[in-house]
Structure 1
Amino acid sequence: MMRVVGPPVPKSHTNTLPDNWFDQRVDHFNNSDTRTFKQRYFLNDKYYKTGGPVFLLVDGENEGQDYFITKGAVSEYAKQFNALLVDLEHRYYGHSVPTPDLSVDNLRYLTVGQALKDTEQFIGYLNKKLALNTNNTKWIAFGGSYAGNLVAFLREKYPHAVAGSVASSAPVQMTYDFNQYFTGAGKSMGTECSNQIREAVRLVEDQLKTPEGWLAIEKELKLCKPLNGTDISSVNTMMISAAIPFVMAAQYVGQSGIDMVCAVMTNTKDGSTPIQRFTKVLTQFSKAKCLDNDYNQFIDDIRQTSKTAPMNQIGYRQWLWQTCTEFGYFQTTDHTDSPFGNQVSIDFYVKRCADMYGKQFTGQFIRKGIDKFNQYYGGAKPNVTNVVFPNGSTDPWRVLSVLKDLNTSSRALMIQGCGHGSDMQETLSTDPRQLTDARLAIAKQIQLFLK
């Protein structure tokens, strides 16, 4: 089951900058706890000139990579403003895990509050280490997706640390039942395409009613495991796995991705069935050899607490912990406007949290954490100045971001036809005009933040 947040880093990218390490506190909010851990960061001074600002790329729910400060748009802004580039790896991800394992007891230090304090403390450390504070050096923070939330909240809770932030595709409004994810993707795909998807899913749901139908689905969708249509959790796992490649096209590729998906789904001239066209999209847009439908195996994998467990090395146990404790973001399909059927309800996600982390994760418990988070950080209207919020118009996550200017210095920027974190990617000659214009607008905001 895919984790569907975070700006994409090209799979071909290999880090070229050396690792640096900072002694970070495990628990910032308990004075009697003196434990520390090694937090990784990267430095790139290629464009830096004395007196220039620092551009800090805050990582999110992935291993830290130097892509965004060597090839991404942030490095291009650095060239323009003579900035020092820094990338800080998020606690519990990559090589910056502060505890011996990822038990529930140890995961309690994985919160946004701890991560923000990490960043504030790191900025103070580097200012002192590099004598930047003697020049009153200004910092600008950059982040995409969840990390976009972090840099927005950094300006809210620690405005002294950074002069401004670029919060790209930042879903700052936490939500329990995120049904807009799939309904929004369906709307982006248009009526004809969505109706074809809806019909394919309806046919699959009809087949779920009989054992003969289960066998047909196994063959048609190329499932990883034999299907038991009475196992609701495994059926839900299959339905989410089948829907994700469609949404990925809208989320990451943008309008051209939607066009590719819909060209397949609406091509009825070859006599193919809706399910055959649906499967063709799965084959083209998913690199997996088979479609995941094994809920129990997924839960077993996530329950592993070793830092070296495969799912933990890529951050799944950590990220799902954050969704179950603070974020929600539960992508349900049981909504009348969803083209992806009505199988996946909020109950599936509540059960999943409980199965992964303990029976205390009831719907009421999860809701309470989300409500508390939104109350503290402001939800869709964080109390911030000097933040720009770029979003792509085809990105389903955009509905949870800031879509209207909050004030004269915190602006919303919609990039038509583009997807999640598109403004953070390396500039290409093939970029559409609206993306180029957006980056120019972001650079203008950065210039204002630095005055």
Structure 2
Amino acid sequence: MLTSIRTPLVVLLSLSLSVVNARLPDGRVHGNIPPSPAVPKITADDGPLTSISGATLPPINTTYYFDQLIDHTNPKLGTFKQRYWHTWEWYEEGGPIILFTPGEANADGYTGYLVNRTINGQIAQQQKGATIVLEHRFYGTSNPLPDLSLKSLKYHTIQQAIDDLDYFANNVKLAMPGGDKVKPNVNNPWILVGGSYSGALTGWTMVNKPDLFRAGYASSAVVEAITDFWGYFEPIREFMPQNCSADVEAVITHIDQIFTSGSPAEINAIKANFGLSNLTHLDDVAGALRNNLWDWQSLSPATGVEGTFFQFCDALEVKDGAVASASGWGLDHALSAWGAFWTSSYLNLLCGKNDVESCLGSYNPNEDYFTDTSIDNSGRSWTWIVCNEVGFYQEGAPTDVPTLVTRLVQPVYDERQCNYWFPGAFGNNPTPQPNVNRINTAYHGWNMKVDRLFFANGHRDPWREATTSANGSPAVSTSSEPIGISDGFHCSDLSTTNGKVDSTVLAVQQQALKSIQGWLADFKPTNRSSHQPHRRSEDEEREEKRRVLRFERERSVV
């Protein structure tokens, strides 16, 4: 049953939560770790495809390997095997190569980004191109070294990931006819596509390597690194059912007051209400309730209203078959109903057989999720980038803004845990801060100006306030750097199905396809035919020397 809402509701949910080895599909590695801005997984049928010429292609899940440099500042260290997936269903000679990385995830299972059930495949179909999914370094099995220790992670930086894209594009030999002669701008235009963090990586790469990609598509791109990212919850507060937000705000205000100045009996009553009596620290208890708001990140236009987030709101707002008014039922009912929702099912969904301290506590540096250095541990790999470079700590709002989550959790809460994840990495600093200013200076954040880069954002995206459509962002839509914004959620525009369901998502997809078509129309390859070697002009020779010098300077920066 739908509760009352602020605005017409665009239908919802993609993935319900499940617990496998205490790792949740939205990027949380245990119940109290914020999700990463992960791009949605979209798979394709594993069977073979047929090219436009009628040839049978390898199965879509065929895995290829590329010899990627361990350290772009020191090539002598050697290479590692970086996985990628590839198809040329619509490719014609000279067509674009569409390169995509899912970012902070094992890339196995993202084969949907090779075919036209995603914007990547739509671009390839329209432009007669080939598609690639490249696994990001330090995710899945694409690991430069055999573990995720500090010794390994020093090669895990945004700049190394950008250099990976450059080195891959300029050196890969694709397993397709003419696949050894698709070097960017020499024979073929390359298009970089990404969503969420990898959408930001798309923008950052085009700032850092301005002559590499002919065009880019960045969905829900979190281009502005932000330490105190309380704005994560603002789109949720704006677009969730109004009665639900009113009651959530009331409960959180009450809990913060009790945990700050209440009696021991009052504090223990709150903890028991949520089945958290054995959770020691009060900021962990209050912070754990963020999980119900994080469920919003799983929503998409193409799914129904039976998802976990709306089950939560209905648990609070539907009483004896009646739905609360816009002001909600009030504190007493909401607190009791929220507690019942947790103790009847939700806590088990989060923690399974784990006790609440090991599942939701953040003060024991010996917990497995802090100490596991094995590869294919996306939570650890992402947390390294969070602690060092981007922040995005999802905390309570300032006191002059209504808040859906506790103000007892502030950036120092997460910064403290960075020392548990990576002991010795930050010296004696008890609350190391990520260097977001360096990232925003190097890659321009909201201020990036890039030719032929399309931004696709969503009003309901919880990561909106780090994108070019954030309140306060100076970015404006132009013909060379358009910003299309839909009524979608996080990366909704990447999915073809979402475009069929939501006309605003479809409009953004169509706007992007038209822009990319125009940007490729005047592309002039320097050597389309391998049988007619191209003699470079003096201007091109000078430009190549400038490019090499620029690349060497970039590689020399640690």
Which range, TM-score by smaller chain?
0.7 to 0.9
Partner SS state of residue 253, structure 1? coil
In 2 relative to 1, CA 200–252 (structure 1 residues): closer, same or farther, beyond 3 Å?
same
Q: 1:430: Cα distance to partner?
A: 5.4
Residue in 1 that maps onto 2:278: 226
Aligned-pair Cα RMSD in Å: 3.1
Residue in 2 that maps onto 1:9: 41
CA distance in 1, matches of 2:503, 2:235: 24
Q: Can you list the C-alpha shifts for 1:63-88, whole angstroms capped at 9, x where unaligned?
A: 11323223423223322222101011
Residue in 2 that maps onto 1:121: 167
1:107 to 153, 172, 176: 153
Q: 1:140: Cα distance to partner?
A: 0.7
1:19 aligns with 2:63: yes
Residue in 2 that maps onto 1:349: 414
CA distance in 2, matches of 1:12, 1:297: 41
1:153 aligns with 2:197: no
Q: 1:285: Cα distance to partner?
A: 11
CA distance in 2, matches of 1:366, 1:2: 17
1:66 aligns with 2:114: no
CA distance in 2, matches of 1:25, 1:238: 44
2:274 partner letter: L
Stretch deviating more after TM superposition (89-98 or 275-284): 275-284
Identical aligned residues as a percent: 23
1:79 partner letter: Q
CA distance in 2, matches of 1:105, 1:8: 30
Residue in 1 that maps onto 2:55: none
1:288 aligns with 2:350: yes
In 2 relative to 1, CA 335–253 (structure 1 residues): closer, same or farther, beyond 3 Å?
farther
What are the equivalent positions in structure 2 for 1:221-300 lying under 5 Å apart? 221-223=274-276, 226-228=278-280, 231=281, 235-249=282-296, 252-253=299-300, 262-267=313-318, 273-279=333-339, 283=345, 287-289=349-351, 292-296=359-363, 300=367
What are the equivalent positions in structure 2 for 1:2-401 lying under 5 Å apart? 2-9=34-41, 16-31=60-75, 33-64=76-107, 65-70=110-115, 71-126=117-172, 130-133=180-183, 136-189=187-240, 191-205=242-256, 208=259, 209=262, 212-213=265-266, 216-223=269-276, 226-228=278-280, 231=281, 235-249=282-296, 252-253=299-300, 262-267=313-318, 273-279=333-339, 283=345, 287-289=349-351, 292-296=359-363, 300-308=367-375, 313-336=376-399, 337-357=402-422, 358=424, 359-360=426-427, 362=429, 366-367=433-434, 369-401=435-467
Q: Would the aligned equivalents of 2:225 and 2:439 in 1 still touch at CA under 8 Å?
A: yes
1:408 aligns with 2:455: no
Partner SS state of residue 275, structure 1? helix
Stretch deviating more after TM superposition (372-381 or 192-201): 192-201
Q: 1:39: Cα distance to partner?
A: 0.6
Larger radius of gyration: 2
Q: Can you list the C-alpha shifts for 1:76-132, whole angstroms capped at 9, x where unaligned?
A: 332222210101100000010101221223211100100010011100112685212
In 2 relative to 1, CA 276–443 (structure 1 residues): closer, same or farther, beyond 3 Å?
farther
In 2 relative to 1, CA 303–266 (structure 1 residues): closer, same or farther, beyond 3 Å?
closer
Partner SS state of residue 454, structure 2? strand
1:324 partner letter: C
How many matched pairs?
Answer: 438
1:424 to 468, 484, 494: 494
In 2 relative to 1, CA 316–429 (structure 1 residues): closer, same or farther, beyond 3 Å?
closer
Partner SS state of residue 23, structure 1? strand
Q: Can you list the C-alpha shifts for 1:195-229, whole angstroms capped at 9, x where unaligned?
A: 20012224444664455556544553344x7122x
In 2 relative to 1, CA 299–113 (structure 1 residues): closer, same or farther, beyond 3 Å?
farther
Q: Would the aligned equivalents of 1:185 and 1:250 in 2 still touch at CA under 8 Å?
A: no
In 2 relative to 1, CA 381–429 (structure 1 residues): closer, same or farther, beyond 3 Å?
closer
CA distance in 1, matches of 2:143, 2:95: 32
Stretch deviating more after TM superposition (164-173 or 346-355): 346-355
Q: 1:182: Cα distance to partner?
A: 2.2
Q: Would the aligned equivalents of 2:232 and 2:464 in 1 still touch at CA under 8 Å?
A: no
Higher helix proportion: 1
CA distance in 1, matches of 2:79, 2:379: 24
Q: 1:279: Cα distance to partner?
A: 4.5
Partner SS state of residue 338, structure 1? coil
CA distance in 1, matches of 2:500, 2:312: 20
Q: 1:18: Cα distance to partner?
A: 1.1
